[in-house]
Amino acid sequence: MREALDEESQKLGRYVHLTNYSSGLCMPEIAFMAAYERLDMLLNDAMYGILFRDINMQRTFCDQYFSRRICAFAEIIINTGEDNYITTADADEAAHTVIASQLINEGFARLAGMKDELIGFGHSFEIDPAREDTLLREFAMAMMVRELFPESPIKYMPPTKHKEGDIFFSHAYDVMSDLVAITTGQAIQLLGMMTEAMHNPFLMDRYVALKSASYVYRGARHLGEEIRFKPDGIVARRQREVFDQALALLEEVAKDGMMAAIGKARFGDTARRPDGGKGLEGVVEKGPEYFNPFLEILEGAA
C-alpha cells in the first residue's frame, strides 16, 4: 500500500499518508510492521484495548510502552482513543474524562520518548444535538484540547452516536463538526458519513463528505483567527467547569492508581479488573537477569 500511495502522491503532487491500528494483543508487533512498511500514523492507546476490547490492563500497558518506543524511533504519529469514551458515556457529562485521559496519555507517551509532534490526542463532536447550545459546548471542548496540546496533531472524530438514519440531518450534523474542526485548528480530521447509521458507507458517500469538508475548510480557513469568545461567556465557563472536573479526576488517579480508576469505571463508563481480560497469561514478572536488547536500543536512541 505504501508503494502504491507513493505513486499516487507523485501524480497528485502531495504526500498521501498511510494509517492503521496498533492495538489489541499485538501492539509492539504491529508497530514494528508499521515502521518497516513506512506507515505514517497508528491508533495506539492501551485504554482503548482495555475498555473496548477487554484486553488485560497489565498486558496492554506493557505493550503500549514498547510499541510507543518503536513509534518514537520510527517517527510514526500515534492517535489516542479518548473519542471512544463519549460514545459509551454521555459526551457532555463525561467531557472531563477525555481531558484527564489525554493528560495521562501525554505522560505515557513522553515516558516512551515520544515528541509532542507525534502525539495525536483524540476527541470528538458527540454532544446530543437535541440539547441547546451544543455548538458552543463543542467549541469549548475543541478549543481547550487544542490549547492544552499546542504542538500536537489533534485527532477530531465526527459525530456517530446520535445519528438515526436521516441522511439530510446527518450531513448537516457533519458540517457542524467540520466547522468546529477548522475554526479551532484540529489537525487530523475524520469525516462523517451521512449514511453512518444505515450501512457501510459507499464510495459516493465518501465523495460527498470530502466535497463538503473541502468547502468548509476552504470557506472558514481563517475564521478562528478572526473571532474571540467572551471571557465570561458560555464557552469560557464550560472550559473552566470541565478542567476543574478533570483536575479532580487526575488527583483521584494519582491517589488511588490508574488501575483502580479503571476498575471504578471512571473512563467510558466501563469497568475492568487488573486480573481480567485477554492476554494476562502473557504477563510475567521480570527476573533479576532480564534484559531486552531491542528495548535498550530504542531507549538509548531517545
The residue annotated as part of the active site, out of 45, 65, 155, 205, is 155
Where do the H-state alpha helices sit in the chain?
A: 2-12, 27-36, 46-52, 57-74, 85-88, 95-111, 134-148, 167-184, 203-219, 223-226, 234-256, 258-263, 293-301
Phi/psi of residue 228, each to 5°? Answer: -135, 145
> Cell for 219?
470557506
Measured between alpha carbons, how far is 81 from 85 in angstroms, rounded to an integer?
Answer: 8
Can you state the angle between helices 167-184 and 203-219, rounded to 10 degrees? 40
Among candidate residues 68, 109, 62, 23, the one with its CA nearest the CA of residue 298 = 68
Could you say which of 63, 83, 174, 178 is catalytic? 83
155 is catalytic: yes
What's the burial of 296, exposed, middle or buried (CB within 10 Å: 0-12/13-18/19+)? exposed
Residues 6 or more apart whose CB falls under 8 angstroms from that of 284 comprise none
Q: What are phi and psi of 26, to 5 degrees?
A: -130, 40
Q: Cell numbers of 130, please?
A: 437535541
Phi, psi of 123 (to 5 degrees): -155, 180
What are 240's three cell numbers? 473552566
Selecting among 45, 48, 63, 85, the annotated active-site residue is 48
Residue 62 neighbours by CB under 8 Å, 6+ apart: 283
Scan for cell 467540520, then name that residue: 178
Name the residues annotated as catalytic. Answer: 48, 83, 155
